[in-house]
Structure 1
């Protein structure tokens, strides 16, 4: 989709970070790095953690301590995350953006990919 034909709600709008979570926000500013440090970005009516500098890629950052969770909590976390990540990916694509999920650990990445191999996931190594 060309910029001239893009829906107005697809234009990135910097907005304050949604939560009071300094470690999460710091990670979102470093990975990928964020075009709008200190801000989330609103695209297609959805808030994303970062818009990557220099490219049209939106990021969702997860800084869970996934490796410390028991098997039940890991399953529940993945079941909660997947529908939201798919929705965000679809919104990003509809607005002409790529979409990447940043997770803190390889175990979290592996668990997400075991359920949906179509997700683009990067291990950030961010700590909580």
Structure 2
């Protein structure tokens, strides 16, 4: 803006100098035609009516987060990074894609060194989707499966929590949900009725 004003003033100054030189040579001033401006000048608004614009923040990409969560956003390992899907099969990937509010449909999201199946920024929730045919297995196999998976699910929950995210495990059967909650009642398990 300042450069435009300086250049404009320079052009006007040169025109005045030429007009004065012309006047000295001819002895009279040239006729100057007045031209109405095509647009009205824009005057700056009074400072009382102006509001300062905030600087862009990580929140510009996602809905606002509570102030205590901002400390996590400063840590690079807590910033969500989209990556290729790792579900291994189409039904698994489709269940993850159809989670309401999933910010990265068709992708996984890397947070704190772990690829999660989905991220719902509005609730700051990371999802892990399990699409095993759990209910078709004998009870002994179901118990074994939960016992084997439980340490990893707890680790994923801790990774999510360390970055200020909730952690939800999505399953396709009531039997799977009940078995997980029997093993650890602190887990958040959701029955995915959409897949």
Q: TM-score, length-normalised on structure 2?
A: 0.61
Per the TM alignment, residue 53 of structure 1 is displaced from its structure 2 partner at its CA by 4.6
- Matches of 1:103 and 1:15, distance apart in 2: 22
Per-residue Cα deviation, 1:68-102 (whole angstroms, up to 9, x for no partner): 00122101210121111100110000001011111
- The answer to whether the 8 Å contact 1:32/1:50 transfers is no
Per the TM alignment, residue 21 of structure 1 is displaced from its structure 2 partner at its CA by 0.4
Q: Which moved more, 1:104-113 or 1:32-41?
A: 32-41
- Matches of 2:93 and 2:171, distance apart in 1: 13
| Moved segments of 4+, more than 4 Å | none
- The answer to whether the 8 Å contact 2:129/2:171 transfers is yes
- Matches of 1:20 and 1:41, distance apart in 2: 15
Return 5+ residue gaps in structure 1 as ranges.
Answer: none
Q: Which residue of 1 aligns with 2:162?
A: 94
Per the TM alignment, residue 55 of structure 1 is displaced from its structure 2 partner at its CA by 2.3
Q: Does 1:52 align with 2:120?
A: yes
Larger radius of gyration: 2
Q: Which moved more, 1:2-11 or 1:33-42?
A: 2-11
Q: Which secondary structure state, in structure 1, belongs to the residue aligned with residue 96 of structure 2?
A: helix
**Greater share of strand:** 1
Q: Does 1:84 align with 2:147?
A: no
Q: Does 1:108 align with 2:190?
A: no
Return 5+ residue gaps in structure 2 as ranges.
Answer: 1-67
For the aligned residue pairs, the C-alpha RMSD in angstroms reads 1.5
Between the two structures, name the one with larger relative contact order (CA 8 Å, sep ≥ 6): 1
